[in-house]
Structure 1
């Protein structure tokens, strides 16, 4: 496998913006197939369509749950995950209940991650747990989440949804997404069986290489074409 092919297999091609239509979904699935990325990450309603569009490719189908704010009841997240799996998703990216994390209700968070993970594993899917590190900013909270994900057997810990916008004092919204500092902390705080996914703000080849160096094996991206075309120029067939 060439360097470009290995980098492509790090990418979960995100097709999640609220304004995206089914026509956009079809186009972006074609992009994912062309570059043979690891997976697409789609909205729950779109799983069946994405499976149809990618039926002749090796690209896996991923789906977001409790997205993007993480506010759904646990039973709803479980049902949503089970529905996505039955529709054809084999990777589930679930947003934790952010408010419960911030108030330190760790029993609730452990139950939530555990029940969704169990449901997905029974149906043959893996689980990526989204922390939303633009909101969950304290190191001790990130460490605790990594420990709980390790305890219950989640497959990945993930930085962000891509939509965790923070309102500043000037009234404008900003977004940080994945940072190298947080990715290294997540790698250090998670068990060896838990993998790390970066999401949010990785838009260049250098950005993808940096998160790989920090310990990531997956990265959510919308700039897939730009990243991999740059990789072709830099690495060629290496």
Structure 2
């Protein structure tokens, strides 16, 4: 059993605003909320990296840039450049969308090359790299193949979804990804996680990071649950 305090739970959350019409004021609010709740990261579109990095300067909250988002349909060279540009502008975490077309076509060599190049750029800069699978478009066999590649390449995380596809995270997929990738690569659950029950279920299934735009609601619900139970932590079986 692992005991999680409220802050432990908050530090699992990538506080997210990836909307195309997000304003500078929205970004400022996102960063302030991340400070107020001590979330692990703000998850934003790549073009917002500099703005958010400046807003979070001096804190332990990361700026996470989404690369080739949300479709993943750009060349490896384009993804590498976008990653480099994001890091140059202050991003200190990267979430990129793999090439779903090539994965579904069985082109594992392409997926391996793409993942290797982006992970190398990230790790050379000491920046964690997360690979977004977009599981709603994949079969279980395809999810397993992508996770098997990640087990060899070793990004920091593999991730369930962008939140912009036809479906989001499921407990079944999180378990499959974690069982396949092993202990050296973590799993991020994202897409459709909007309440504390789903949040806890993803952690129990093996997720070490949760991407959500409902982090404040989730943390407040957990705070209320702890207050009712008169406890300072929640124990979970991992």
TM-score (normalised: structure 1): 0.93
Match of 1:206 in 2: 197
The answer as to 2:39 corresponding to 1:32 is no
SS at match of 1:134: helix
| Structure 1 alignment gaps of length 5 or more | 166-175
Query: Hey, what does 1:181 align to over in structure 2?
Result: 172
Q: Distance in 1 between matches of 2:145 and 2:156?
A: 16
Q: What SS does the corresponding residue of 2:193 show, helix, strand or coil?
A: coil
Corresponding position of 2:236? none
| Candidates 222, 225, 228, aligned match of 1:231 | 222
Equivalent runs, 1:92-107 vs 2, <5 Å = 92-107=94-109
Measured against aligned partners, the alpha-carbon deviations of 1:36-91 in whole angstroms (never above 9, x if no partner) come to: 01111111111111011112422111110010000010001001111111211111
Give 1:153 deviation, angstroms. 1.6
CA root-mean-square deviation:
1.2
1:57-206 equivalent positions in 2, closer than 5 A: 57-136=59-138, 138-165=139-166, 176-206=167-197
**Structure 2, unaligned runs of 5 or more:** 234-238
Shift of 1:2: 6.1
Shift of 1:150: 1.3
CA distance in 2, matches of 1:77, 1:70: 9
> Contact (CA 8 Å) 1:70, 1:96: kept in 2 or not?
yes
* Residue-pair matches, total: 227
Structure 2 distance, partners of 1:185, 1:143, is 7
Mapping of 1:33-48 within 5 angstroms? Answer: 33-48=35-50
Mapped partners of 2:25, 2:63: distance in 1: 17
Post-superposition CA distance 1:83-141 (Å, at most 9, x none)? 111211111001001111111111111100110001111111111000001111x1111
Q: Structure 1: which 4+ aligned runs deviate by more than 2 Å?
A: none
Q: TM-score, normalised by structure 2?
A: 0.93
How far, CA to CA, are the matches of 2:12 and 2:24 in structure 1?
A: 25
Deviations 1:176-206 (A, max 9, x none): 2000000000011003110000000110111
